[in-house]
Amino acid sequence: MIISFPDKKKRRIYKENFLYIIMMIFGFLMLVPLIWVVLTAFKTEPEIAKLPITWLPESFLNFDNFVQMFAEQPFGRYFFNSITVAVISLISSTAIAVLAGYAFAKIEFKFKEFFFLLILSVFMIPAEVMVLPKYLMMAQIGWVNSYLGLAFPDLFTAFGVYLFRQFMSGIPDTYIDAARIDGASEIKILWHVILPLIKPALAAFIIIKFMFSWNQFLWPLVIGQKQDMFTVTVGLVAFSGQWYNQWNLIAAATVLSIIPMLLIFVLLQKHLVQGLVMSGTKG
């Protein structure tokens, strides 16, 4: 039995409110670099070289930097490339991981633990370690400068297998029993019964995977050697190298490179949190 005294409770509420304000201040500080780069993207060249520093751009309608950016380099193509690669790898890795996750969570077969450990250990090895041999493999089959080559390391993600297995283990077996009796094959069970029930995990996976694929750099740098196969990240670096010290232009390109991810995050962030929380509960 806990007896809480009114003023003790009040003190706690004060404390929590105080903490909330502190966290808001620090949260705002976290945003300052982002805000700063957005502001810079709207400034003109003389403005950024002004001392002392001015915070706000003279006009928020100054889109010259963005216009120039697209004029100088095919950023439209970069975006198209990044999106294509992200979509290919998203579809492939989700499909593969859902299948494996279901097998691990709901089907009995021999050596299950062994296979799971195998996949889990791949999860622990970063892709960067394997860039070199993978590049040589791609070169041998002629996938350098191709979308499949760009997407190759992302076609499968061990993390997805792990996430979906965690989630699906939490789904009661009776749903699957019922579906089996209702005449559904394993694939149909997966499609009609399991997938709708793991939507939070799917959303979490899509965000994380998309983010990973969109933000990749080393692999596309190595594999997309021609300019028309640059992804946004590679294009951003190429552009910045070309316009060294033109920070208004670089800022514009940087801001634009973040926007797609930001949109996805804003759209799905509720699911991301929910998905992570649920996989945590079940772990």
Partner 1 sequence: MLKFLWISFWGKSVKQRRSRMGYLFLLPSLFFVTLHFIIPTIYNIVLSFSEWHIIRPLEFVGFEKYIDVLTSDEFWEALSRTLYFTLLSVPITITSALIVALALYRIGPRKGSALVRAMYFAPVVASLTAVAYIWTWMFNPAYGLLNEILKFFYLAPIQWLNDINQVIPSLSIMYIWSRLGFDMLILMSGLTAISPDYYEAARIDGANRWHSFWNITLPLLNQQLVLVCVVEIMMALKVFELPYAATNGGPVNASRTLVMHIYETAFQWNRMDEAAVASLALFVIILIVTALQHFFLSRKIHY
Partner 2 sequence: MSTVRLSNVSKSFGNLRVVSDVNLEISDGEFLVLLGPSGCGKSTTLRMIAGLEETSSGDILIDEKVINDDDPKDRNIAMVFQNYALYPHMSVRKNLAFGLKMRNMKTSTIAEKVNEVADMLQLSDLMERFPAQLSGGQRQRVAMGRAMVRTPKVFLFDEPLSNLDAVLRTELRSELKKLHMQLKTTSIYVTHDQVEAMTLADRIVVMKNGKIEQIGTPKEIFHNPKTLYVAKFIGNPQMNLHEMQVKKINNSIFLTASSLSIPIPKAVINRTNTSYLKDGATISMGIRPTDIFINNAGNKKGAFKAKMILTEMLGAETLIEFGIEDLNFKAIVEDDYGISSGDLFEVGMNFEKIHIFEDTT
Residues in region 104-143 near partner 2 by CB under 8 A = none
Rama region for 44: left / alpha / beta (φ>0; ψ in -120 to 50; rest)? beta
Q: Which stretch binds partner 2 (CB under 8 A): 48-56, 65-73, 147-155, 173-181?
A: 173-181
Which amino acid, one-letter code, is at 98? Answer: V
C-beta of residue 180 within 8 angstroms of C-beta of residue 189: yes
Q: Does the protein bind partner 1 through residue 262 (CB under 8 A)?
A: yes
Q: At what angle do helices 199-215 and 232-242 cross, to 10 degrees?
A: 30
Q: Which residues ranging from 195 to 224 are in contact with partner 2 (CB under 8 A)?
A: 196-197
CA gap 61, 178 in Å, rounded: 59
134 exposed, middle or buried (CB, 10 Å; 0-12, 13-18, 19+)? middle
- Provide the mask over 42-81, with x wherever binding to partner 2 is found by CB under 8 A and - wherever it is not: ----------------------------------------
What does the alpha-carbon distance between residue 207 and residue 213 come to, in Å, rounded to a whole number? Answer: 10
77, 134, 188, 282: which one contacts partner 2 (CB under 8 A)?
188
Using the rule CB under 8 A, give the single segment among 68-76, 96-104, 154-162, 176-184 that binds partner 2.
176-184
Smallest gap from residue 197 Cβ to partner 2 (A):
6
Residues that bind partner 2 (CB under 8 A): 172, 174-175, 177-185, 188, 192-193, 196-197
